[in-house]
Chain A
Amino acid sequence: MGFKLDYLLSILPRLISAAAVNLRLAVIIMLLALVLGTALTIVRSRKIAAVNACIAVVISFVRGTPLLIQIFIAYYVLPAVGLDLSPEVAGVSAIAFNSMVFVSESMRGGLATIDAGQIEASTALGLPPHAIWLKVVLPQLFRRIVPVLINEATIVVKGTALLSVITVVDVLRTSQQIASSSYRPFETMIGSALVFLVINLAISLSGRLAERRFAAARA
């Protein structure tokens, strides 16, 4: 069974419309990861020993276990403790949780490079703590971690393919469905790979443009 380009082209429209699911979930996940990652960073910066110890345990779990297992836990284990989540919600929660940790870790790294003198100057001017975060610290942090965020976004997009195993009908699951009825896994898998590749190339490219604009704004 050889590779047929016209068959690949004929299934692309179905794969592309399924990609809307991956894109939508990836956007939601990234937004959640940014908001939660920022919140987590602020909580950790308070340096409350007991809180940070708990957070450290959670972080080592997230970093030390496969994302697929974390997704299974959200989908199969959480209902046992009364949290019955739909496949999409469970999947989004698991990946967002995972991503939140990586966002927070890179923000923490960026935080160390922000001169403490700036914070003191802000304090001396009378800026309340929340204004110091919003006007002084976070704008600089976000600019500094743009490359990390772009990278994280591509990982999240790829991660949404894992949700096919908990019945979310995304690009991968759609292509599996097509393959099982047409018996042409070659073209369908190449097709879904292409869809992911194009999305991630677009993200990387726009990320690089955004970085260049930030650099230009600073010069």
Chain B
Amino acid sequence: MSAVPVLRVSNLTKRFHGVTTLDQVYLDVHAGQIVALIGPSGCGKSTLLRCLTWLEQPDDGFIEVAGKPLGRELMPGGVVRRHSRRQIDALRPQVGIVFQQFHLWPHMTALENVVRPQTVVLGRSRDEATRRGAELLMRLGLADRMDRHPHALSGGQKQRVAIARALAMDPALMLFDEPTSALDPELVGEVLAVLRTLADIGMTMLVVTHEIGFAASLADRIAFMDRGRILEEGPARDILAAPKEPRLQSFLDLVRTDHRIVRTTANPTE
């Protein structure tokens, strides 16, 4: 394991109108790891991902991406220096995020969605960006969908375009917010397959999910969050087989007895 983690979150705290949503979160994700972030609804999972791309400004704590501070940094002498929008934007391509609702640009074709951020943000030539975009879409099985606009794509196809759009920026880390939740249950296996292909190319990922079976079959490590804190983190097998935290135990009991989830997670573990 390399010394510098791809993602290091320390003491991250976020309050909304005085209500603490993230409470001193610590998390390291190392190169090539897939970490599943699980926890009950409203515990702050999405808020954590949003803070990691600085869409939400944390009130306290630090984020480091591949050793570089994001958003604010601790200077010698204990002074905290806030970064400018320009500095933050420069680091943002390093963190790819795929939202629950994908948020593609509806006025551009699938290919253009993937090409445009490369030319605008990374300054790549159109040719190079198009080559890279087409290659990614092809690898994600969208070779015959590149010229379509998002409204003419299925949910699963939109998700893959969104993944390609983020991957084209050559991120060090990919974040997924509930990749299975906006899609039909039958597609869970498909999403799993797509994320596995990313794992095969060594992509580091932090995946929010409430489907334990999905987490079990995908992740190397699982982090359990409750009420804004990460209560337990470790190798996926250990976390699922021998949870130490009572709240994690009862959370696992709850989702395992939920028939709907048992049924939908039957596919990926096959």
The residues of A with any CB-CB pair to B shorter than 8 Å are 115, 117-118, 120-129, 131, 135-136, 139-140, 143, 218-219
Instruction: Check A125/B106 contact, CB under 8 A, given A117-B99, A120-B55, A218-B149.
Output: no
* Shortest Cβ distance from B109 into A: residue: A217
* Contact among A118, A120, A121, A135 for B120, CB-based, below 8 A: A135
Q: Which 3 A-B pairs have the closest CB atoms?
A: A126-B92, A121-B103, A117-B103
A126 contacts B89, C-beta separation under 8 Å: yes
In the complex, residue of chain A having the shortest beta-carbon distance to the beta carbon of B50: A120
B266 interface hit (Cβ, 8 Å): no
Checking B86, B90, B93, B149 against A125 with a beta-carbon cut-off of 8 angstroms, the contacting residue is B93
On whether A121 and B99 interact (CB within 8 A), knowing A126-B89, A126-B92, A135-B116, the answer reads yes
**A128 engages B89 (CB within 8 Å):** yes
Cα of A121 to Cα of B103 in the assembled complex, Å: 6
Judge whether A125 and B92 touch: CB under 8 Å.
yes
Q: A129, B117: Cβ atoms under 8 Å?
A: no
Q: What B residues does A125 contact at CB under 8 A? A: 92-93, 117, 121, 165-166, 169
Task: Add 12 more A-B contacts to A121-B99, A121-B103, A126-B117 (CB < 8 A).
Answer: A115-B103, A118-B103, A123-B55, A125-B92, A125-B93, A125-B121, A129-B85, A131-B121, A139-B107, A218-B106, A218-B151, A219-B152
**A129 CA / B86 CA spacing, docked (Å):** 10
CB contact between B53 and one of A115, A124, A128 (< 8 Å): that residue: A124
Q: Which of chain A's residues has its CB closest to B91's CB?
A: A126
CA distance A136 to B93 in the complex (A): 17
- B101 an interface residue at 8 Å Cβ cutoff? yes
Question: Which of A123, A124, A126, A143 is in CB contact (< 8 Å) with B90?
Answer: A126
| Distance (whole angstroms) from the CB of B49 to the closest CB of chain A | 10
Chain B residues whose CB sits within 8 angstroms of the CB of A122 once the complex forms: 105, 117
> Which residue of B has the minimal Cβ distance to A142?
B107
Q: How far is the CB of B119 from chain A (nearest CB, A)?
A: 10
Chain B interface residue count, Cβ-Cβ cutoff 8 angstroms: 30
> B101's closest neighbor in chain A, by CB?
A117
Residue of B53, B149, B152 contacting most chain A CB atoms (<10 Å)? B53
Residue of A nearest to B175 (CB): A124
| B95 CB within 8 Å of chain A | yes
In the complex, A122 Cα to B121 Cα: how many Å?
10
Measured CB to CB, the nearest residue on chain B to A136 is: B105
**Least Cβ–Cβ distance between B61 and chain A, in angstroms:** 19
Task: A120 to B101: give the CA distance in the assembly, Å.
Answer: 12
Option from B95, B103, B121, B162 in Cβ contact (under 8 Å) with A120 = B103
Within B64-110, the residues touching A (CB, 8 Å) are 85-86, 89-93, 95, 97, 99, 101-107
Verify B105–A127 contact, CB threshold 8 A: no
Alpha-carbon gap, A124 to B95, bound state (A):
8
How far apart sit A143 and B107, CA to CA, in the bound complex (Å)? 9
How many Å lie between the Cα of A126 and that of B85 in the bound state? 10
Nearest A-chain residue to B55, judged by Cβ: A120
Complex: A135 Cα to B90 Cα, angstroms: 18
Once the chains are docked, how many angstroms separate the CA of A127 from the CA of B117? 7
- Checking B86, B103, B149 against A128 with a beta-carbon cut-off of 8 angstroms, the contacting residue is B86
Tell me the nearest residue of chain A to B117, going by C-beta: A125
Please give me the residue from chain A that is nearest to B169 by CB atom: A125
| Structural contact, A127 and B149, CB atoms closer than 8 A | no
Residues of B within 8 A of A120 (CB): 55, 99, 103
Bound-complex Cα distance A128 to B93 (A): 12
6 contacting pairs across A/B (C-beta < 8 A): A117-B101, A121-B104, A122-B105, A128-B86, A140-B107, A218-B106
Residues in A neighbouring B93, C-beta threshold 8 A: 125-126
